[in-house]
Amino acid sequence: MTGTLSLDALLRDIGACRICKDAPLGAHPLPHEPRPVVRVTQTARLLVASQAPGIRVHASGLPFDDRSGDRLRDWMGVDAATFYDTRRIAFAPMGFCFPGYDGAGADLPPRRECARHWHDRLFALLPRVETVLTVGGYAQDYHLARLGLATRREPMTQTVRRWRDFSGGTPRVIPLPHPSWRNTGWLKKNPWFETELLPQLRAEVARLV
């Protein structure tokens, strides 16, 4: 079986996954029907690894189909057509399904079932990926450990501030905060993100896509 066929088969299995609904890790199953949102191909050289879909993405099935996506596309310097061209850009969040809301109305963390059952196999089938954009702390913790670039967890701000430390690996990693409007205050407190990191991010994206 070729790598392409293996990836196709794995994506079909992911698309039909109900583990978090029917056999969850922990006491609480997914509070709605699963709708895994993952878009990858073997030709993509850039991977966007984020947290988990929000409610709007759960409805549309399109990654970052919301205001945070507008900000992420601006950070990357690409239009929507380029952003959603899966031949060039892949999307695989830590949790493939919208996890639901907590008591305060905020999105819950990504479900643990996805990383446990799918992630290692999925990323082993994406050998052409040269750069991973890790959006948020959950993706940073997993991918930096997977690639041997970090041995301990640290606050998201510290990881993003050390972005240069992760630029020499294969694939390289560019850590980003989540582009949610809730992080507008963080962006104002950390102006180096816009002046130092974003120009390098846009240059790397332009090189790959």
CATH number of 3-208: 3.40.470.10
φ/ψ of 175, rounded to 5, equals -80, 140
- In the prediction, which pLDDT does 3 show? 55
Q: Which residue has the tokens 């929507």?
A: 80
Which residues of the chain, if any, have pLDDT below 50? 1-2
- In the prediction, which pLDDT does 1 show? 43
Nearest CA-CA partner of 156 in 183, 116, 119: 183
Give the integer Cα–Cα distance in Å for 136 and 94.
10
- In the prediction, which pLDDT does 151 show? 74
198-208 vs 67-76: helix crossing angle, rounded to 10: 80
- In the prediction, which pLDDT does 4 show? 62
Specify whether the CB–CB gap between 111 and 30 falls below 8 A: yes
Q: Which residues pair with 131 in a beta bridge?
A: 46, 172
All structural domains of the chain with their residue ranges: 3-208
The pTM of the full predicted model, rounded to 2 decimals, is: 0.95
Nearest CA-CA partner of 105 in 61, 68, 71, 55: 55
Q: pLDDT per residue over 32-82, tens digit each?
A: 999 999 999 999 999 999 999 999 999 999 999 999 999 999 999 999 999
Nearest CA-CA partner of 141 in 125, 156, 130, 131: 156
153 three-state secondary structure: coil
